[in-house]
Amino acid sequence: MADQPTATERFLQGILPENPVYRQLLGLCPTLAVTNGMKPAITMACSVAFVLVCANVVISLLRNLLKPHLRIVIFTLTIATFVTIADRVLAAYLYQMSKTLGPYIPLIIVNCLIICRCEVCASKQGPFVAASDALGQSLGFGLALASIAAVRELLGTGGLFGYQLLPAAWPDWVIMVLPPGAFITLGLLLGLVNWYSARKSGGSI
């Protein structure tokens, strides 16, 4: 496996060069749905990280037993098991948050990000590389979620984590915490990231 990336490369790639949200456009459903506040966004990022790390390690241990035509089913069943665990834990210790996140925790099962990482990395490389890949990807996912949530919550309510930051005269842009704000914020941030990386690589924009 000389041509496969090493653990460190996998970890670093997840953060910006292959950022799941801004570069690969994966897992957009939770990205848009739970980013109207920092708290739900970070809870979601932690749940995704837990599921991704566990699923990647398990798939990586099973990788020699996988049959090509059945692998997607195995992936989804493994992911579903860990999502059930995450969902029960959230319901037990963070009941209010689990009510707020509602159906979006079980929807992690069909999050393309996790299936994609199982397919690209875990079904080809060992558990250590798979774990570091999962950590890098979930860190990148968490950063993306936090950046969107910060913009939306700051403009929408004038604060972060529920603490008022902007002066009281700030008119709350309620639209930012409603569904349209999610689309527009992600669209603009995506354009910003594209512009920045094109400028950095010497593009003529």
Q: Which is nearer to other proteins, 7 or 184 (CB)?
A: 184
88 Cβ neighbours under 8 A, 6+ residues apart: none
CA 96 remoteness from chain centre: 21
Q: Where are the beta strands (DSSP E) in 50-90?
A: none
Long-range contacts: 96-101, Cβ < 8 Å, 24+?
97/39, 97/40, 97/43, 100/40, 101/34, 101/40, 101/43, 101/44
Tell me how far, at minimum, the Cβ of 11 lies from other proteins, in Å: 25
Q: Which residue of 13, 54, 60, 87 would you call a contact of other proteins, by CB under 8 A? A: 87
Q: Which residue of 33, 54, 59, 151 would you call a contact of other proteins, by CB under 8 A?
A: 33
Q: Considering beta carbons, is residue 111 or 132 the nearer one to other proteins?
A: 111
CB of 63 to other proteins, least distance (A): 20
Neighbour count for residue 126 (Cβ, 10 Å): 15
The verdict on 58 binding other proteins (CB under 8 A) reads no
Across 87-188, where does the E strand assignment appear? Answer: 159-160, 163-164
Q: What angle separates helix 38-61 from helix 127-157, to the nearest 10 degrees?
A: 170
Contact status: 180 vs other proteins (CB under 8 A): yes
Q: Which stretch binds other proteins (CB under 8 A): 51-59, 93-101, 118-126, 128-136?
A: 93-101
* Least distance in angstroms from the C-beta of 6 to other proteins: 29
- Per CB under 8 A, residues contacting other proteins are 25, 28-29, 32-34, 36-37, 40, 72-73, 76-77, 80-81, 83-84, 87-88, 99-104, 106-107, 109-112, 115, 153, 156-159, 162, 164, 172, 174-175, 177-184, 186-188, 190-192, 194-195, 198, 203, 205
